[in-house]
Chains A and B, each alone.
Chain A
């Protein structure tokens, strides 16, 4: 970093002289000093509209209060956020906002995370002086996933600005004038862009409602867990919201290095297969279901009786699980490891820089770091040739993806040539027919561990299961029990413990550990000082 001093501005906030980087808005600068100014239309990821007027503050440079979201700080500026003028302005705006807003909170899905509700609690009047009839505006579907409750809309234009600036599709617009104005789409052009779900997230009130989450849960009852989207190799940071252990919705989590504040609809709605009736939920052999100890005994029996074992990994496994597979493959002599990749999807890039990757899997990079860069290339074709030759009798294959076809037609046909197949699968499918052992696999949101995104960013994904409520042992637990039974592991570890083992033996991960990854992840090359790429810490 060149040592250039950023220009700063000295100004006065609530009687205290403070200093901020020049060019900031009053709202942003005040929040740096712990003074939160309420806002509806302001969103850090969107352009400034300045139409909700709730952020008004008193200024020494203006006879009337100014809106803090668009006014910038200047030397000698004196701002009062809690003076009589400012509070009065705020309360009056709040009263106007509530004139036509229905008292829908008990049935509104936004209730509990609604900005209007929060501000009404802190600034709103406790009764309405409005005796005229309230305006009725339309309630309709705007697209396949989104509906609008026009009565609740406060016309902050966050959603229309999102469609103009972030997705660049401009489906939404404001129709009518004055207090009748409301968000709408043009006739015959529904909002169906790949980022449409974000408009629901940024809506400060419950005007835009996602069909997927409508009436599903009250937000204050849900538990939240930071995780990573497994839909593509971008690795968008998400928050998994669960009710009684069941996923109810996924929300994007801010990470300026990856996904800003957004996520795509494919990832957002791509979790329904977790609760599919076709899920493999227990281990089974040819004669029927097996409990965990018998399934491990059967696994070991097969490994002991096989002269040559091959492993087919998938890019959904976490680095920790891959490390365990690697250790298992290394313990048997003459083993082969290859990997399969799901079909490429459509990549997309949006005007504001948000990207969707064509690789519809989360951890190709991680697998290449653990097994070498040819694991999905030459190693895979080598494995396929060996299967075709019939020189492999036993194969262990993983499929953590949402596709019931498993690793796809080509690989399924190749796998059949191995006489003994041990398959891990999320969903039931034809490729599991005739397998010696079938194990339930964890889907992306159920895994605990790390993934490496396409930008070589190491990020932690967390399981949506509560500890102790696991319906079946995931790969992380099962592979460790297998190692214990084989005598190569003395005690079972958590994902963090396995990662420590991985960082000791695998150079690209050297010097990293779970606690350093934090909530926003880090680049594999960002090593702590003193740790080279060549060896462990």
Chain B
């Protein structure tokens, strides 16, 4: 019994010990490299921050910001109210009510299309799911508002963006 406990203690000491010289030597080179990099940036005269909101950063392509609904070449909304975006949405922030479309080439369109921008997690699943390429996440990222009601975007707002 005593032997077993001793062996356990030794094992514990071996695995938790940080004083092995070879291990420390391995760390020294990358740490030194990192420090050199830091020192370089201290003396380089280029700030990594910007003076927001006077200056605005251009987002990278594919940035997922505010949503918009697209229009077709005749200026009508492309959306056919298939509910696939609402189905794909993991945050349940899209609310749609369908109605009959007044046009010959299409049967259905949304009567109501609301996105709760406060609930949205900007994952882009709606854009991915849309079979009509009707919804899109734009690179617009600064969308503040003063009331909660303003953060629920309706169809007109989404089409005007």
How many angstroms between the C-alpha atoms of A105 and B108 in the bound complex? 12
A107 touching B108 by the CB < 8 A rule?
Answer: yes
Q: Does B140 interact with chain A (Cβ within 8 Å)?
A: no
Partner pick for A107 among B86, B87, B107, CB 8 A cutoff? B107
Are B99 and A218 touching (Cβ within 8 A)? no
User: What is the total number of residues of chain A having a CB less than 8 Å from a CB of chain B?
Assistant: 9
Alpha-carbon gap, A230 to B89, bound state (A): 37
Q: What is the number of residues of chain B that contact chain A, defined by CB distance less than 8 Å?
A: 15
Chain B nearest Cβ from A247, distance in angstroms: 16
Bound Cα distance A319, B81 (Å): 44
- Say yes or no: B80 contacts A215, CB within 8 Å: no
Contacting residues, chain B, for A105 (C-beta < 8 A): 82
A106 lies within 8 A of B84 (CB): yes
Given known pairs A215-B100, A215-B108, the reply for A106 and B82 (CB within 8 Å) is yes
What CA separation (Å) do A277 and B114 show in the bound complex?
Answer: 26
Closest residue of A by beta carbon distance from B106: A107
A220 within 8 A of B: yes
Please name the residue on chain B nearest to A244 by beta carbon. B95
Residues of chain A within 8 A (CB-CB) of B86 are 221
A215 touches B84 (CB 8 A): no
What CA separation (Å) do A322 and B71 show in the bound complex?
59
Interface 1/0 per residue, B145-159 and A, CB below 8 Å: 000000000000000
Contact B100 A107 (CB under 8 A): no
Q: How far is the CA of A106 from the CA of B87 in the complex (A)?
A: 12
Are B87 and A220 interface neighbours, CB within 8 A? yes
> Is there contact, CB below 8 Å, between A106 and B99?
no
Contact B81 A215 (CB under 8 A): yes
Which residues from A are CB-within-8-Å of B100? Answer: 214-215
CA distance in complex: A257, B81 (Å): 40
- Given A106-B131, A107-B108: A221 touches B87 (CB 8 Å cut-off): yes
Q: B113 at interface (Cβ–Cβ under 8 A)?
A: no
CB contact list, A99-158 vs B, under 8 A: 105-107
Q: 0/1 per residue, B60-95, Cβ < 8 Å to A?
A: 000000000000000000001111101100000000
On whether A215 and B99 interact (CB within 8 A), knowing A107-B107, A107-B108, the answer reads yes
| With A215-B108, A220-B87, A221-B87 as contacts: A107 and B99 at CB distance below 8 Å | no
B160 CB → nearest A CB, Å:
24
Q: Tell me if B132 counts as interface (CB < 8 A to partner A).
A: yes
| Chain B residue at smallest Cβ distance from A216 | B98
Q: Which residues of B have CB within 8 Å of A220?
A: 87
Q: Complex formed: what's the CA distance from A216 to B81 in Å?
A: 11
Report A208-246 residues with CB < 8 Å from chain B CB. Answer: 214-216, 218, 220-221
Least distance between A293 CB and chain B CB atoms (Å): 34
* Alpha-carbon distance between A534 and B45 when the two chains are bound, in angstroms: 99
CA A107 – CA B84 in complex, angstroms? 10
Q: Which of A106, A216, A218, A221 contacts B132 (CB 8 A)?
A: A106
Provide the residues of chain A in CB contact with B106, threshold 8 Å.
107
Residues in A375-404 with C-beta less than 8 Å from chain B: none
> What residues on B are CB-neighbors of A215 within 8 Å?
81, 98-100, 107-108
B131: nearest residue on chain A (CB-CB)?
A: A106
Contact with B along A156-168 (1 / 0, CB 8 A): 0000000000000
A216 vs B80: C-alpha distance in the bound complex, in angstroms?
A: 13
Instruction: Tell me the complex Cα distance, A218–B107, Å.
Output: 15
Contacts of A216 in B (CB 8 A): 98
Question: In the complex, A220 Cα to B87 Cα: how many Å?
Answer: 9
Residues of B within 8 A of A221 (CB): 83, 86-87
Closest partner residue, chain B, to A214 (CB atom): B100
Residue of A nearest to B84 (CB): A106
Those of A175-222 within 8 Å (CB) of chain B: 214-216, 218, 220-221
Beta-carbon contacts of A407-449 to B below 8 Å, as 1s and 0s? 0000000000000000000000000000000000000000000
**Docked pose: A214 CA to B108 CA in angstroms:** 10
**Which of chain B's residues have a CB closer than 8 A to the CB of A214?**
100
Bound: A215/B80 CA distance, A: 11
Q: Which chain A residues lie closer than 8 Å to B80 at the CB level? A: 106-107
Q: Contact string, B35-49, partner A, CB cutoff 8 A, digits 1/0? A: 000000000000000
Closest to A215 in B: B98
Residue of B with least CB distance to A220: B87
Chain B, residues 99-112, CB within 8 Å of chain A (1/0): the string is 11000001110000
* Closest B residue to A103 using CB positions: B131
B108: chain A residues within 8 A (beta carbon): 107, 215
CA distance A218 to B98 in the complex (A): 10
**Residues of chain A contacted by B132 (CB below 8 angstroms):** 106
Give 24 pairs: A residue, B residue, CB < 8 Å, sorted on A.
Answer: A105-B82, A106-B80, A106-B82, A106-B84, A106-B131, A106-B132, A107-B80, A107-B82, A107-B106, A107-B107, A107-B108, A214-B100, A215-B81, A215-B99, A215-B100, A215-B107, A215-B108, A216-B98, A218-B82, A218-B83, A218-B87, A220-B87, A221-B86, A221-B87
The 3 closest A-B pairs by CB, nearest first: A106-B82, A215-B98, A218-B83
- Supply 8 further A-B pairs (C-beta < 8 A) apart from A107-B80, A218-B87: A105-B82, A106-B80, A106-B131, A215-B99, A216-B98, A221-B83, A221-B86, A221-B87
